């Protein structure tokens, strides 16, 4: 009986860990999506603009 309770606790902890990692990633992506494009500033000279086309990269 104790073994099944331990196993269920391990499953609950594992599922909670996976869901928290997923939620943290989704939150981070949502924060990046909501930032205005003008707020993203590239300070180094070799950065490529986000709206660059392949012909502009040549």
Long-range contacts of range 29-37, CB-CB < 8 Å, 24 or more positions apart? none
Angle at the Cα of 45 from the Cα atoms of 42 and 51, rounded to 5 degrees: 55
Q: Is the pTM of this model over 0.75?
A: no
pLDDT of residue 43: 62
Angle at the Cα of 26 from the Cα atoms of 20 and 32, rounded to 5 degrees: 140
Q: Provide block-wise average pLDDT over 10 residues at a time, the chain (58 residues).
A: 86 97 92 70 61 57
pLDDT of residue 31: 86
- Separation of alpha carbons 37 and 31, rounded Å: 12
């Amino acid at each position: 009986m104790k073994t099944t309770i331990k196993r269920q606790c391990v499953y609950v902890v594992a599922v909670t860990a996976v869901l928290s990692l997923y939620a943290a990633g989704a939150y981070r992506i949502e924060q990046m999506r909501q930032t205005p494009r003008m707020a993203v500033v590239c300070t180094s000279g070799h950065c490529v603009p986000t709206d660059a086309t392949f012909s502009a990269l040549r």
